[in-house]
Amino acid sequence: MRKQKVHIKSFGCQMNKLDTEMVTAAFARAGFELIDSYEDSDIVLINTCSVREHAETKVFSHLGRLKHLKKSNPELVVGVIGCMAQRLGSELLNHDVVDIVCGPAQIPQIVDMVREAIGTKQKKIRVKEKIREKNSDAETQALENFESVYDKGDKRIPGQAFVRAMRGCNNFCTYCIVPYVRGPEISRPHQAIIDQIKRLADEGTKLVTLLGQTVNSYEYKAGDKTYCLADLLEMASEVDGIEWVRFVTSYPTQKYFEQIMNTMADIENVCNYLHMPAQSGSDRILKAMNRHYTSGEYLGLIDKARTIVPDISIAGDFIVGFPSETEEDFQQSVELVKKAQYRNAFVFKYSPRPGTTSEKRLADDIDAETKKRRNVELLAVQEKISEKLSEEFLNKKVKILVEGLSKKPHLNKADHQGNPQLIGRTAEDYIVVFNGPTELAGNFTTVKITKTSPLTLFGEMI
Ligand code: SAH
Ligand code: SF4
Ligand code: F3S
């Protein structure tokens, strides 16, 4: 029998990409063929994100494109999985082209759902009805089993893999949809995580990134001991073959902070990289966001991180145009960016998400123009800082993990030996572009930096 062809597209965060990898692994094991283009596929799956309206709009336009495909191939099965599936449920199922809707908690059932849909033309939906209710033991076990089918490393980036440390979130920042689509926070058993990392290392993984919405609050009780992220980092770094360990994202809090920073300082394999969103520099706005810190406390953590790990590279997230944000509030975000000296900052325009506290209680009163201006201004302030920090790398030798061919043409496309342009990353998450043999993908190499830009370093292999 001809193998059914599946195409999976991911529209979301790292957590979402990890789910895509797991789903890919599950389909491959079930005998399906995974393909890169949706035009020739029998099954198209879209893994979706609800964090901002824009993320959802992109999915709807993709579904629109699939209409034509479905006309020419009426047998095509289209499935929507991930956070939008959980948020919109039957609304999505009613869309012309959609056959399957499957939420993040039901993901272990996706292969069966697709099998049932093939040839039957019946629409199928599985989402969690009460998403804030704790999963049953059986559901948790199904998710754990599904998690463990994934052990081949991230296929798109050789040598690297994401590993989930925690599911869900309990923080309820007022703007955020994640707790409503990913459910309550739960830490995975430390042993399951370490076993998974061992299998990944056996398959050639050298860098693991531990994932959690607030990964620094990881806590797992086993016997008399409570394992925290620092313990996980230490155990992961000891796995044979694992050379770098990273973690994202950290919530600004004192708890475990010093311990985690000390682990970073003491263990060479733990990358000197911290992604810790601030969201705003205004204490009034932080309070309205239900973030449990002031800008002063946030900066205190940044100072502590730099005292313990002097060459740490820090990234942050900001939201501009949160309801009632005045020019003065915004300038406090500008000040915070200047003081924090991030390597990189991600800036988002506030997008009201249906059902969240800020959407229900606060008017989206900052006009699009102002949001855009603040976004551009904050990014410009950050760009100057990134530029200055990048320049410090000039003429230095850096160790990088090579990812593969560079998608964007940068300097010279090929050097005199005909080597193409490759891209890799430093432990601090700097992108490095250089010419080298493609076989280097998935391996470490050393590059001398010859040119810098705010977010990218350019260099030559040594
Ligand atoms: N768990 C992570 C962030 C997850 S969402 C954390 O707490 O740090 C990633 C980023 O998207 C957030 O840091 C925030 O900056 C942004 N974001 C989340 N909800 C948003 C919304 N409704 N509008 C605009 N940006 C949002
Ligand atoms: Fe959303 Fe806040 Fe949880 Fe991050 S910590 S996922 S921003 S609710
Ligand atoms: Fe990630 Fe978007 Fe869901 S940020 S957890 S895919 S809402």
Q: Quick check: is 142 in a domain?
A: no
pLDDT for the residue 281 = 98
Q: What is the pLDDT of residue 416?
A: 61
Beta-sheet strands, E only, within 153-259: 160-164, 166-167, 186-187, 207-211, 219-222, 225-228, 244-248
**Domain shared by 303 and 370, yes or no:** yes
Indicate whether 46 and 67 sit together in one domain: yes
Q: Which atom of ligand 2 is nearest to the CA of 182?
A: 6
Low-confidence spans in the chain with pLDDT less than 50? none
CATH number of 412's domain: 2.40.50.140
> Which numbered atom of ligand 2 lies nearest the CA of 172?
8
Q: Are residues 258 and 277 in the same domain?
A: no
Centre of ligand 2 from the C-alpha of residue 177, in Å: 8
Measured CA to CA, the distance from residue 314 to residue 248 in angstroms comes to 11
CA of 194 to the centre of ligand 1 (A): 28
Considering the domain architecture, whether residues 159 and 251 belong to the same structural domain is answered as: yes
Do both 28 and 106 map to the same domain?
yes
Output the CA 71–ligand 2 centroid distance in Å: 40
Instruction: Tell me how many degrees the CA angle 54-60-66 measures, rounded to the nearest 5.
Output: 145
- Shared-domain flag, residues 381 and 401: no
Whether 417 is in a domain gets the answer yes
Atom of ligand 2 nearest to the CA of 214: 5
Question: Coil, strand, or helix at residue 113?
Answer: helix
For 43, 101, 162, 217, 248, the CA distances from 230, given in Å and listed in that order, are 41, 37, 17, 10, 13
Domain boundary (82, 111, 126) is at 126
14 and 93 together in one domain: yes
CATH of the domain at 281: 3.30.750.200
pLDDT at 419: 87
Q: Whose alpha carbon is nearest atom 6 of ligand 1?
A: 213
The reply to whether 254 and 291 lie within a common domain is: no
Which residue, of 243, 262, 281, is where some domain finishes?
262
Q: Which of 228, 262, 296 is the last residue of a domain?
A: 262
Does residue 149 lie in a domain region? no
Question: Looking at residue 20, which CATH number applies to its domain?
Answer: 3.40.50.12160
**Pick from 136, 147, 142, 59: which is nearest to 106 by CA?**
142
Residues 317 and 412: their CA atoms lie apart, in Å, by: 33
**Would you state the pLDDT for residue 409?**
64
Q: Is 180 in the pocket of ligand 2 (CB under 6 A)?
A: no
Is the CB–ligand 2 distance for residue 179 below 6 Å?
Answer: yes
At position 279, the amino acid (one-letter code) is Q
Whole-number Å distance, alpha carbon 213 to ligand 2 midpoint, is 6
The rounded Å distance from CA 80 to ligand 1 centre is 22
Q: List the CATH number of the domain containing 206.
A: 3.30.750.210
Query: 278 with 375, same domain?
Result: yes
Domain membership of residue 427 as a residue range: 397-461
- Check residue 38 and give its pLDDT: 87
Is residue 134 in a domain? no
The residue among 345, 461, 343, 435 whose CA lies nearest residue 391 is 343
Cis bond before residue 249 (omega within 30° of 0): yes
In this structure, are 111 and 28 located in the same domain?
yes
pLDDT of residue 132: 93
Residues near 303 by beta carbon (within 8 Å), at least 6 away in sequence: none
The contacts of residue 451 (CB under 8 Å, 6+ apart) are 394, 411, 457, 458, 459
* Residues 280 and 204 occupy one common structural domain: no
Question: Hey, how many other C-beta atoms are within 10 angstroms of the C-beta on 328?
Answer: 9
Q: Which atom of ligand 1 is nearest to the CA of 51?
A: 19
The verdict on 48 and 84 lying in the same domain is yes
Give the number of domains in the chain.
4
Ligand 3 lined by 15 (C-beta under 6 Å): yes
- What is the pTM assigned to this prediction? 0.96
**Do the domain assignments include residue 267?**
no
Which ligand has an atom closest to residue 14 CA?
3
